[in-house]
Structure 1
């Protein structure tokens, strides 16, 4: 299967926006009945009841295309079909000392377990050189995600990364950090 990533512009934003509710639904399964990961009273996965429809949610996502050079939305494709997305933030949208932050990473169910997620993550990492950080939920409900990121980051960096569980700007997370400036380009 041919795996590729594509930096999207505003004209293709709708593809990632179409997948966003599925991503947020998936996240809710990792967090259970935790505030911030439940649908609002309108059935939309957002922190406020202000969003009544998916169209409302579409608008709030525009920041990802309004700040080129700072926020990056990559479409993951498998044989030219949408398979998922990766959203990468740079300062000031990440922690101090971090150049690139994996804000969101999602692969649609039919493509999981095929190696596509790891291949796409490496393609994303190869887009930029610097200090990277990504978070995942440290809870037992997310063992699959933890194993995925541990395996993917370890292979990509040949074991040259750090991992810690603790408080972040986004709550208690399992955080991975690595610097790919010294790695040979793939």
Structure 2
């Protein structure tokens, strides 16, 4: 199995944008979100089509050296994506933030996600932060990040439940400088 984690260009953005609605649907199982009146998983009722949703994501390809949209490929097949943000798009004192991390269902449960996370962490050195939903519905995600970050840092990380720009979350912080 060949796993590739590749920074995408504007020309490839559509691949991630095609998977993004699946990601939001996946998250709805953890958060209990329902689609808006147009059937789109977004908070805004203004998004009537997937194109509207796609346009909001363009920022990821408009800020090189600040926002990093990575595509995950398994045997040359799109399998997911990772969005990494840097200041000013992360908490004060944080260099790198895992904004989004998604792997399609057929690729889960076989070590791909942990491999990808490690590859991403190795690309950037500094203070990292990521968070996930602390609810019981997301115990799999919590276990994944706890195991992945613990293995990567050899147990040298901080895990706290606390406030974020997106409500209370389970927050993971570590430094690999």
Relative to the length of structure 2, the TM-score reads: 0.98
1:77 and 1:4 map into 2 onto residues whose CA distance is 5
Aligned length: 177
2:156 and 2:77 map into 1 onto residues whose CA distance is 33
1:124 pairs with 113, 120, 127, which one? 120
1:156 and 1:73 map into 2 onto residues whose CA distance is 21
What's the counterpart of residue 7 of structure 2? 7
Consecutive unaligned residues in structure 2, runs of 5 or more:
none
Once the two structures are TM-superposed, the CA of residue 38 in structure 1 deviates from its matched residue by 2.5
Write the mapping of 1:50-129 to structure 2, written as runs, cut at 5 A. Answer: 50-129=46-125
Task: State the Cα deviation string for residues 63-105 of structure 1 (Å, max 9, x = none).
Answer: 0001111100000111111110000000111100100000000
- RMSD between superposed Cα atoms in Å: 0.7
1:4 and 1:123 map into 2 onto residues whose CA distance is 9
Q: Does 1:45 align with 2:73?
A: no
Once the two structures are TM-superposed, the CA of residue 56 in structure 1 deviates from its matched residue by 1.1
Contact 1:4/1:123, CA 8 A, preserved across alignment: no
**Secondary structure of 2:113's aligned partner:** helix
What's the counterpart of residue 31 of structure 1? 31
Task: State the Cα deviation string for residues 122-177 of structure 1 (Å, max 9, x = none).
Answer: 11111100000000000000000000000000000111100000111110100000
Contact 1:84/1:106, CA 8 A, preserved across alignment: yes
Runs of 4+ with deviation above 3 angstroms = none
Once the two structures are TM-superposed, the CA of residue 3 in structure 1 deviates from its matched residue by 1.1
2:133 pairs with 137, 142, 151, which one? 137
Write the mapping of 1:142-153 to structure 2, written as runs, cut at 5 A. Answer: 142-153=138-149
**Secondary structure of 1:62's aligned partner:** helix
Relative to the length of structure 1, the TM-score reads: 0.94
